[in-house]
Structure 1
């Protein structure tokens, strides 16, 4: 039986609520952190690749607060997500682990490596980290997410799903229906609005000019662990130019670009993603 289907659904009780996760495999700990977006979850991000990683690692697919699965907490989802990882590791007695983070999950993993360096052995960021250098700050994918916060319709969901992938065939009716079923969860809607709504975008621009609160990517030189930056060449959510500053700033960073691939590397370039990531983690 595929290890992914043997993954156990579990709960970790913390002082700020219950964190839910899937667990599979044996070996060194590997945290798998999901991205943001419409109807997203850790299980949906990683269920297809969990079997490959569970052959070598004790995998934990964590569900962040605010996405309709783990208990919600107050605050910005990026900040609360990092706090939830620390709470999760403390609850399970995980001193340090390798981390794979997709998009938001990569930002969370990067912040964890900056502020809690002893807890991250190796880091894999699947798109999402760094600033836009040559493209507009509000990418095509983020613009559609903003449209969804204003009008949470099935049509806007489909527009966003099609923007995430290079290959149209990835957006099936099954995927659309699965995402739509959870897209209108109040916690998930509030989470998306707090990251991609018009007010959130205005706040993001304000932070960029606030010298008292430097953005996380201004502190990437503090990441001491080996880091793999993985990007889809055709990413329309977090365009490839975002990879340039982290590639240059993180001391032990390397970049792998997957051709004919959008934002969802683990789905659209599944075999290559698993091969490249496992080689990096096991090196």
Structure 2
């Protein structure tokens, strides 16, 4: 199916601002939500524009732009929490009781949290890296340390260094991609989201807040995820190394893990055809 940015974009006005999204696929097809990751210049469209046409042949696909990343209006609170509220509000507004979800990195964490706390909303779950605890790899990872560097000095050079760490094949990171992401990364809302999530001081404060609250981290509650789950990972992921996937596969009761060789953090881009085939097979069982 042919899709375009202008042909698929929509807006939803809420009490907390405008949520922007893309939709494609037959209106009576089962719903599939595509939830994007974090990082400078990110958007749902940039994450999934290459996959939308394939998935829309089988599903009513929704790419939701999370608040505070320069596309949808910003809201109060931590970006991950704001994203979770945005997903449930979006589903309620569009009359979607339950949906399969694909979540890239932060989007996977958002979907896992929904599957834990609102299990009826998530029928099946596919994550792309980013979910779970570090077991053998250092934390913060190389990719996260490069994000710290970008937040401390938001330059095009630091952005390019981080982008190249997201992939196995650095030819994927073209000058056009760098320029596109740099233009978006300079947006004040995008910079603020990056600072809150990846600034060294903010990261330390988040860790202290979690310890003081006495609440377990989300991954310690992943045994409560009851829906069928497929964890997808790039073998050469330098943002969230694949040992995290091994832990998540053990923690989630009905989970399987698929690891793609010669692939970094952006599985849906670097392993596009194999990823799409795996997702469709998993969803259509």
Aligned equivalents of 1:72 and 1:126: distance in 2? Answer: 24
Structure 1 pair 49–104 and aligned structure 2 pair: CA distance change class (3 A):
same
- In structure 2, the partner of 1:23 is 23
Aligned equivalents of 1:4 and 1:222: distance in 2? Answer: 38
**What secondary structure, in the 3-state scheme, does the structure 2 residue paired with 1:49 have?**
helix
Alignment partner for residue 90 of structure 2, among 79, 88, 91?
88
Deviation at 1:208, TM superposition (A): 5.7
Matched ranges for 1:1-150 at <5 A: 2-4=2-4, 7-26=7-26, 27-150=29-152
TM-score in terms of structure 2 length: 0.96
- In structure 2, the partner of 1:200 is 202
Aligned equivalents of 1:272 and 1:6: distance in 2? Answer: 27
Does the 8 Å CA contact 1:165/1:263 hold for their aligned counterparts? yes
Alignment coverage as a number of residue pairs: 283
Q: CA RMSD in A?
A: 1.3
Aligned equivalents of 2:5 and 2:208: distance in 1? Answer: 44
Does the 8 Å CA contact 1:4/1:24 hold for their aligned counterparts? no
Structure 1 pair 73–6 and aligned structure 2 pair: CA distance change class (3 A):
closer
Deviation at 1:159, TM superposition (A): 0.1
Unmatched runs of 5 consecutive residues or more in structure 2: none
Structure 1 pair 5–39 and aligned structure 2 pair: CA distance change class (3 A):
closer
Alignment partner for residue 187 of structure 2, among 181, 185, 188?
185
Q: Runs (4+) of structure 1 moved beyond 3 Å?
A: 3-7, 207-211
**What secondary structure, in the 3-state scheme, does the structure 2 residue paired with 1:160 have?**
helix
**What secondary structure, in the 3-state scheme, does the structure 2 residue paired with 1:155 have?**
helix
Aligned equivalents of 1:203 and 1:263: distance in 2? Answer: 26
Aligned equivalents of 2:251 and 2:213: distance in 1? Answer: 19
**What secondary structure, in the 3-state scheme, does the structure 2 residue paired with 1:48 have?**
helix
Aligned equivalents of 2:245 and 2:195: distance in 1? Answer: 25
Aligned equivalents of 2:236 and 2:159: distance in 1? Answer: 19
**What secondary structure, in the 3-state scheme, does the structure 1 residue paired with 2:239 have?**
coil
Aligned equivalents of 2:186 and 2:11: distance in 1? Answer: 23
- In structure 1, the partner of 2:165 is 163
Aligned equivalents of 1:263 and 1:7: distance in 2? Answer: 28
